[in-house]
Structure 1
Amino acid sequence: MQVKEPLCSSEIGSLWLTYQQKTMIQRILEYFLDRADDQEAKNIIGMLWQELDFYVEMIKGIFENEGVVIPKGFTKEDVNLDTPPLFENGFDIMLIRLLKEVSLGMYSINLNMAYRADVMTVYEGLTMVSYKIYKLSTLYLLKKGILTRPPIITPPKRTEFIESKKYMKGFKPFGEKRALNAIELGILHHGIETNNLGMQLITGFAQSAKNKEARQYFEKGKELAKKHIKTFQDLLLENDIQFSATSGSTVTNSTVAPFSDRLMMFCIDLLNGFSIVGESFGTFFTLRNDLSLKIMLLAKDVYLYGQEGLEIMFKNGWYEEPPQSEDRDQLINRTE
């Protein structure tokens, strides 16, 4: 009989974090499923909940077999279904689409840190789930007219190569800058799209959170999202491109929280990390130096904002401690 290798540190850490994220998403899905009035949206939400539940149970099984304590994660205590609607219909699938985009990036990292076949199976399966739900969500939102497609450009007719470093220059107070290329247009569009959704989400959190410090933190995040949107929109307008945002308001006037403050803070912490990674990507792949600098400064703001959020979570005992390595100094210097 073949004996399994014990879980290594990276596998325990990634499974622990995945458990936190998936149980959080399950609570959000339960709220959306209770509020949805569109059957197609309900089908997407219900399908995702069932798929995630399967892998949450698989992670629990791996931990139990290895003698690893099962994390608390997020439970029924973190969601309240007996509340007025906080978001309008359509927002649910928009958020699910964004969360699956985050998940796809996370699973690539997690899979790279897996060495056991059963752990790899978890991330292979979750990746396929995310691809499926992301596609269904995108097609649903396009059909409903909620999602805006990126700008259309004239297709290139011949291959060309950059022949001068002037291509990178954007700091020209006088004279014309070169037009944005297709990659840069995509990055700016994506930045507006995600920050517009984030602004709506954090607005709902700000007006419903119970903890005053959390409310103020969410309010600060709303203003940061606005700063991102304005920066990206101004860059597009300089290129004679107008971004058309999703139609209609997505936040109601409810001040009753459907989620615990702990869950809402963790959700924003997750999206902060996604934002930093996305803007790092944008900084690297934009070929105009003014764009790179502006995106880099925005990423710095998100990093500092994220650190502030962690301090609030630690202060209120809202962040479950990840598995720790042994403290050798403490063991050696223990008092009997």
Structure 2
Amino acid sequence: MESTDIPLTSSEIGNLWMTYQEKTMLLRFLEYFLESADNEEVKQILKTTYDFSEQIVTKIKQIFEGAGAVIPLGFTPNDVNKGVPKLFDYLYEPMFLHMISKIETPLFAFHSTMSYRKDIRQLFKQLTANSQEMYDQCVQFLEEKGVLTRPPYISMPTEVTFIQDDNYLSGFHLFKDKRALNAIEVSLLHHAIEMNLTGMQLMIGFAQVAHDKKVKEYFVKGMKLSKEVETTLGEFLREDYIEPPATHAGKATNSTVSPFSDKLMMYLTNLLGSFAVGSHSLGGAFSLRSDLPLALAKLAQKIIPFVKEGGEMMIGHGWMEEPPQVEDRRQLTKT
């Protein structure tokens, strides 16, 4: 039996639907960036990413059509406005793709582990590999331009040691200094701050150009929340005399003309917020100093209601497309 003759499972339908939403969103941003980018190497990265994303959207359409499912709406050319002033300046385009690749790579890898039909498994393997390649290209380019801050270097370990004192787990010593951060903790902090630096400029730009007053206010909240995350987590690094990541590139301009629909900007903000919740949970799970998980949890307690508020606003405006629904058989028990 051909794999395409096997019905799609609920997880495969859901993950393909989510991928369609994300990829049609990305296509709209790429269309705008391709028009406004002024670096030829950046344009090539954008064009390669655009062509691949377009192929994936077409492939998902074919899979849904073959299964007799309706094609999602996602995001269309109506969600992007061409010919408007640049909303972001020097090299923001590869910084944006660098951020997106950090979301896509673990997401598509996770989707692949929930896929059973051979063609769907291969599709998500292809998506994962492409996101990794996009990450590689962006890192290479941004490092060459000197606008990407590497995580800090530390001394190489010269012997194997074991933790002897449970004070290693404590971050709240009253009478002595806390231990220094370990390499795992530094890497998690650096990753979270780096993502928020790019996200904060996105929120600034969105807040400047949003049409709806409440949507504009929501993006201002996102801007302030990104700054709080960067400041809170950056302080952990500064306590150990480590400078948090920073860059002079990729700032929002002073344009007030929107390249994107409010719907599109709200969707991406919701996606970034949801990823931040998962990322903070992962960071807390792998941090062995007790003050770090607590700080990450407190930040998550602010991000979760922010994401929820965004979802409610999208529903209120009729912008949130409903995922494929399981048949409600609970009514059978009430007869």
**What TM-score comes out, normalization by structure 1 length?**
0.96
What count of residue pairs does the alignment treat as equivalent? Answer: 334
Indicate the residue corresponding to 1:89 in structure 2: 90
In the alignment, structure 1 residue 177 sits paired with structure 2 residue 178? yes
Compared CA separation, residues 281 and 244, structure 1 to 2 (3 A) = closer
Distance 2:190 2:11 in 1: 34
1:203 is matched with which residue? 204
Q: C-alpha deviations, 1:256-304, integer Å up to 9, x for none?
A: 1101000000001111111111111110111100111001111121111
Residue 41 (structure 1) aligns with: 42
SS across alignment from 1:176: coil
Give the conservation status (yes or no) of the 8 Å contact 2:193–2:245: no
Name 1:292's counterpart in structure 2: 293
**1:137 alignment partner AA:** C
Q: Are residues 1:142 and 2:121 paired? A: no
Equivalence for 1:233? 234
Other structure's SS at 2:29 match: helix
Distance 1:10 1:194 in 2: 28
Find the aligned partners of 1:107 and 1:308 in 2 and give their Cα distance.
26
1 CA distance for matches of 2:28 and 2:36?
Answer: 13
Q: What residue in structure 1 maps to residue 117 of structure 2? A: 116
2:301 counterpart letter in structure 1: K
Which residue pairs with 2:328 in the alignment?
Answer: 327
Counterpart AA for 1:17: M
Q: Which runs of 5+ in 2 are unaligned?
A: none
Match of 1:57 in 2: 58
* Partner-residue secondary structure (3-state), 1:171: coil
Residue pairs, 1:151-166, within 5 angstroms: 151-166=152-167
Higher mean C-alpha displacement, 323-332 vs 108-117: 323-332
Deviation at 1:237, TM superposition (A): 1.2
Pairing 1:178-327 to 2, within 5 Å after superposition? 178-248=179-249, 250-327=251-328
Residue 12 of structure 1 pairs with residue 13 of structure 2: yes
Q: Deviations over 1:240-259 (max 9, x none)?
A: 11224111461100011101
Q: 1:227 to 1:41 in 2, by over 3 A?
A: same
Rate the CA distance shift 1:122–1:244 in 2: closer, same or farther, 3 A.
closer
Partner letter of residue 206 of structure 2?
F
User: Residues 134-158 of structure 1: CA distance to partner in whole angstroms, max 9, x if unpaired?
Assistant: 1010010000111101111111111
| Native 8 Å contact 2:193 2:233 kept in 1 | yes
Q: 1:333: how far off?
A: 8.6
Q: CA deviation at 1:92?
A: 0.8
> How far 1:232 moved relative to its partner?
1.1
Structure 2 CA distance for partners of 1:248 and 1:40, relative to 1, 3 Å: closer
Aligned 8 A contact 2:190 2:245 in 1: no
Percent identity at matched positions?
A: 44
For residues 20 and 109 of structure 1, what CA distance do their matches in structure 2 show? 17
Question: Within 2, Cα distance between the matches of 1:185 and 1:120?
Answer: 34
Structure 1's 155 and 318: CA in aligned 2 closer, same or farther, altered over 3 A?
same
**Per-residue Cα deviation, 1:21-45 (whole angstroms, up to 9, x for no partner):** 0000010011111111111100100
Question: Shift in Å at residue 177 of structure 1?
Answer: 0.8
Q: CA separation in 2, counterparts of 1:140 and 1:278?
A: 25
- For residue 329 of structure 1, report the CA deviation from its aligned partner: 5.2
Q: Equivalent residue for 2:168?
A: 167
Paired position in structure 2 for 1:28:
29
Q: 8 Å contact 2:89–2:249 — kept in the other structure?
A: no
